[in-house]
Amino acid sequence: MKQDNKNMMDVVTNALDEPGLLAQSRRLGRLRLPPSIEADFQAYLHRKMCSRVWPVAVSSIGFMLLFIWVDYAFLPASVHQLSITVRVLVLLLMCFCLWYSNRPGRVAPRSAFNTATLGYVCTGLMVIMVILACRTQQVPVAVTHDGLYLILLSGCFLLGLPMRNSVLGSWFIVLAYLVGEVAIGSSRQSVLGNGLFLGCFTLMGSIGAYAYEHMLRRAYLNEQLLQAARDRAERESHGKTRFLATASHDLRQPLHAMTLFIRHLEEKVIEPETRKSVTRLAESTHLLQAMLNSLLDISRLSVGMVRPQLRHINLHGWLQRLIAGFEVSARERDIELVLNCPLRSALYTDPMLLERLVRNYLNNALVHAGATRVQVVVSERDEQVRIAVVDNGCGLSRDEQARVFEEFTQLRNPARTLEKGVGLGLSICRQLQHLLEYPSGVESEPGQGACFWIEVPVGEWQEEAMLNPMLGSTTLQGRVLLVENDLVNREAMETLLRHWGCEVECHEKGDRLLQGGPRDEQVDLILTDYHLEGDMTGLELIEALREAGIYTGPAALVTADTSSTLSPAAEQAGIPVIYKPVLPARLRRIVQTLLQKAEA
């Protein structure tokens, strides 16, 4: 939790100013951003320039070598000896500039841009020198200023320099050429004519360089806005995760206490009218628990908080136990509930997630299908086990088959009576199918029932231990040490355990147990919450007691924490986890099983 908070603080600290970026996107015409952003943009522009280093290097060196050959082939020796020497020197300078300026992260952007501009200007001055030298000599081929267009084209578009560098370098080259023409005595008309053409070309190149940098700045701001949106989404996701963890834990705590107290009342109250009220209260609490579980499950699935924990399970007994929980509901609705499953069928899956999926299918068939017979049919083929929930109810049309998986959708509950749920059961099934990556489908026609099926990978069948008949006894015997920091839950657990016949010793904190607390002979079972007062969790407390040799018997965690990391850690330590709110009957079975283990 502390690490999560630290990560969240890092996200908030490094969060981009999204409104500020939006404001800057409307003021790009000046090609200047605030200093905090401008430095990052210069680095971004440097990376862009470096990304084109190979085309620039190949074209620049290729053209330079080509014109060295042209000078040698077509210019007299008095000219080409000078021009080739200068071209070779500039070629070496250009290679150095390309190497030095195209090292992002090792050279500051400003230094890289200035070095690349130096190479660009020197190349332009070299071309000017060759042109003017040829003007003063008798050469067989007329040499004009057209070669400067290639240089200016490279500086404005190919090199990827910032607009200011490319524009200043280009205009410096043009002015240097015009000054050179004046120096060698060219006519005024020639100077003005060449200046007009070169000036217009440079002006168009300057506009292009401006448009290019404007486009890059826009792209940079868009990337930053996208990153800001990602950061905001991540912060919101962290917020949702924290909210769901808090809501799950804090809402389950009082609901757990309510369930235990109501169970205690049911066993104590004798007067018929009062028992009826307590029964209705128990039904309402159970309905509230189901609604809370559905809402929390759909929220946790939507933000990716659930991770499958895969293992091998025997399917027949697993389905028998699951279906047994629906027998009362099926009997109340006069529905025949049938299981058709091979005895030695096994799966490789997450039992908890698969149970929720099949349970929701069964509940949908019993509550909404209007059926008289519901079957769970298991078949195997191609290393897959198909589990199908088949009913003979009213069936679904094509349109309804798609709609039933939408959130809060109930096709035959226009009054939205809560006895039929909140319309999240099949939506949770769809999310679980995507999470587990199981093929699934619906086969149905109006008036002909429906078949909801999924396919699960085949697992390894394993021998199961026989259930101890003692689990049906009415009185529990043993000393239970209860560690629970919530007062109401502690009282509820203590009351119910004592009513079942256990001796109970309660603690709010676990620190005292490590300071000469009870030994193995004094305690038969430890039940502890996961989140305790102080720095130690319930899991850490049990492990510390075992390491110190203070207690080595059976123990269990009773917690409202449903995080994905708790279950694997507890399983590795060999400690069962009981999630709040737990049905009293299930809690009793688990406690009795663990007490039996202590006696063995």
Range 312-457 has CATH code 3.30.565.10: yes
SS3 (DSSP) at 100: helix
Inter-helix orientation angle 188-268/487-499, to 10°: 40
The whole-number pLDDT of residue 10 equals: 40
The residues spanned by each domain of the chain are: 17-233, 240-302, 312-457, 474-599
| CA–CA distance, 474 with 409 (Å, rounded to integer) | 43
Specify the pLDDT at position 11.
36
Residue type, 472: G
pLDDT digits (tens, 9 = 90+) for 399-417: 777 777 665 555 555 444 4
Which pLDDT score is estimated for 410?
Answer: 59
Identify residue 418 by its one-letter amino acid code: L
- Which pTM does this prediction carry? 0.50
pLDDT given at position 407: 55
Q: Which residues of the chain have pLDDT under 70?
A: 1-29, 237-252, 283-284, 286-306, 405-425, 464-474, 516-521, 564, 600
Closest among 99, 97, 91 to 61, alpha carbons compared: 91
* Residues 6+ away with beta carbon under 8 Å from 258: 285, 581
Q: Provide the 8-state DSSP code for 467.
A: P
CATH class of 474-599: alpha beta
End-to-end CA gap in the chain: 38
Long-range contacts of 146-151 (CB under 8 A, 24+ apart): 147/67, 148/124, 148/173, 148/174, 148/177, 148/198, 149/201, 150/63, 151/120, 151/123, 151/124, 151/127
Coil, strand or helix at 531? coil
pLDDT of residue 106: 92
